[in-house]
């Protein structure tokens, strides 16, 4: 190095691991929160919506008669 290198000032010598752990916890907690919110919005709520949409206009009586008339039930006869 050319020229006079100035004397370095005293850096922080104590508590390095402690601050590293604090930083790690904060980062991990925030990443976990983001992932949890994403999971809720994009997966859990989406699935609930799909189920709700299916059952909104679902007529179970009509479905029952459809299956019955195909002859798939053992305990009910078809209509014909």
Partner 1 sequence: MTYKLPDKVIREINVKYECFFGREDTDGWDVRQAMNDLVGFDSVPEPRIIVAALHACRRLNDYALSVRFLEMVKHKCGHEVDKIYPYIVQEVGSTVAELGTDFPETLGYDKPELFLQSVFSM
Sites of contact with partner 1 (CB under 8 A): 7-18, 20, 22
Shortest separation between residue 21's beta carbon and partner 1, angstroms: 9
User: Which residues, other chains included, contact 44 with Cβ-Cβ below 8 Å and sequence gap of 6+?
Assistant: none
Question: 18 or 70: whose CB is closer to partner 1?
Answer: 18
Give yes or no for a contact between 57 and 65, defined as CB atoms under 8 angstroms apart.
no
Shortest separation between residue 43's beta carbon and partner 1, angstroms: 35
Shortest separation between residue 32's beta carbon and partner 1, angstroms: 20
Question: 11 or 52: whose CB is closer to partner 1?
Answer: 11
**Backbone torsion region of residue 40, taken as left when φ is above 0, otherwise alpha when ψ lies between -120 and 50, otherwise beta:** alpha
């Amino acid at each position: 190095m050319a020229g006079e290198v100035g004397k370095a000032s005293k850096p922080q010598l104590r508590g390095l691991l402690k601050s590293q752990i604090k930083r790690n916890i904060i980062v991990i907690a925030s990443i976990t929160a983001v992932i949890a919110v994403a999971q809720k919005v994009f997966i859990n709520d989406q699935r609930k919506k799909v189920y709700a949409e299916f059952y909104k206009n679902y007529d179970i009586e009509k479905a029952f008669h459809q299956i019955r008339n195909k002859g798939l039930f053992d305990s009910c006869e078809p209509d014909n």
